[in-house]
Amino acid sequence: MRLFIAVNLPPSIRDVIHAETTSLRAVVRGVKWVAAPALHITLKFLGEQDERLVGDLRGALESVVQRHAAFDVRTTEVGAFPNFRRPRVVWVGMTGESPLRALARDIDEALAPMGIARETRPFQAHLTLGRVRSEMGAADAAALSEAARASQPTGAFAVHAVDLMRSELGPGGSRYSLLAAVPLHARGT
């Protein structure tokens, strides 16, 4: 099964972010846009894993997450990886980078002894809005960049849990299902 570890957004927040980025989706073709229910912050992509590993993964998450307190995040600007001249992924940035990075780092370290490869890229907190299907022409890239500058999605929420998620690929895109929600400890405890 295909797995990842994420922070899921409250439905009301992800719906607002999705609505406020409608103008981006109207600007260019060739981008596979993420549906509102699929918006999340990925902490670690695990790829294909044996189903028997789910219990061990949950245990590892519990041991890591209990060391972290709940915290707040807020959306920032719309950006693109690697940049808007050659966009491959369109995203919304997030504040709370430091606690998210610490969670991602600790999860990465806890899963390495289970044979799950460590991350090689530095962590950058973001919500993926869309993935560019093929090389985008300069005019479309400029139009997308301009629309991104004009789009300032707003959303703030408290992160209370880290979720182990399953991703099933299908003709309509990926479907996500929650396998385990592991709560962070309450602030001030």
Beta bridge partners of 175: 168
- Annotated active-site residue 18? The verdict is no
Give every strand in the sheet of 40-48, ordered side by side.
Answer: 40-48, 2-8, 161-170, 173-183
CB atoms within 10 A of CB 97: 15
Q: Alpha-carbon torsion 27, 28, 29, 34, what sign?
A: negative
How many degrees, rounded to 5, is the angle at CA 34 between CA 83 and CA 5?
90
- Active-site position among 40, 68, 160, 185: 40
**87, 144 contact by CB (below 8 A):** yes
Q: Which of 17, 75, 9 is nearest to 42 (CA)?
A: 9
- Spatial separation of the C-alpha atoms in residues 128 and 24, rounded to whole Å: 13
- Active-site position among 18, 126, 160, 185: 126
* Rounded alpha-carbon distances, angstroms, from residue 73 to 59, 68, 99, 144, 185: 25, 14, 9, 25, 16
The residues assigned a catalytic role are 40, 126
